[in-house]
Amino acid sequence: MINDLLLIEFNEEANKTRAMLERVPIKADFKPHAKSMPLGKLAPHVAELPGFGVTILTTPDLDFGKGGPRQRPAFESAEGLVKAFDDGAAKLRDTLKKTSDAAWNESWKLSFNGKPIFSGSRFLAYREMFLNHLVHHRAQLGVYLRLNDVPLPATYGPSADDTMGF
């Protein structure tokens, strides 16, 4: 089944993301560039992303402009971010296990106040809008950590800080 393969992939990416979140320094206003998102917004966003994956798997669409403000995890500690991520990841794993092969071909849409952002299959929404999005922001977190002299965990091989015995 498709969900079995995606679950294996999600678990790999979740472990890497969790390792990054474990090291986040609590420097809410830090950003590497004036146009960059501050760390106090980026890290909670990464921690909340598994919930977006659940939304993709359980709804036909999402309009970011409707439904009021969402509750982001608090930016108080790395442990709190990890807990929020772990809780969301557990829900996503559970939802992935229940997703039928047929559901992956269903349409899914993302918009903001009715303006289309994404329209395509649920599979493509899950991969592009959720999983690739998670990896993208995790890579940003890596830059933020490096610029704060925080050792980076290995991701797709050893980092300069975590050689994994190489």
CATH number of the domain where residue 107 is located: 1.20.120.450
- Residue 152, in any domain of the structure: no
- For every residue of 97-133, DSSP letters joined together read HH--TGGGGSEEEEEETTEEEEEEEHHHIIIIIIIIH
pLDDT digits (tens, 9 = 90+) for 81-103: 999 999 999 999 999 999 999 99
Answer yes or no: are the C-beta atoms of 85 and 47 closer than 8 Å. yes
Per the prediction, the chain carries an average pLDDT of: 94
- Residue 163, in any domain of the structure: no
Q: How far apart are CA 131 and CA 52, in angstroms?
A: 10
- Residue 157, in any domain of the structure: no
- Residue 162, in any domain of the structure: no
**Beta bridge pairs of residue 19:** none
Q: How far apart are CA 127 and CA 121, in angstroms?
A: 10
The whole domain housing 129 covers 2-147
- Residue 94, in any domain of the structure: yes
Domain count, the chain: 1
- Residue 73, in any domain of the structure: yes
- Residue 166, in any domain of the structure: no
- Residue 88, in any domain of the structure: yes
pLDDT digits (tens, 9 = 90+) for 98-146: 999 999 999 999 999 999 999 999 999 999 999 999 999 999 999 999 9
Q: How far apart are CA 8 and CA 96, in angstroms?
A: 10
pTM of the model: 0.94
Record the tokens describing residue 103, joined without a space: 């559901």
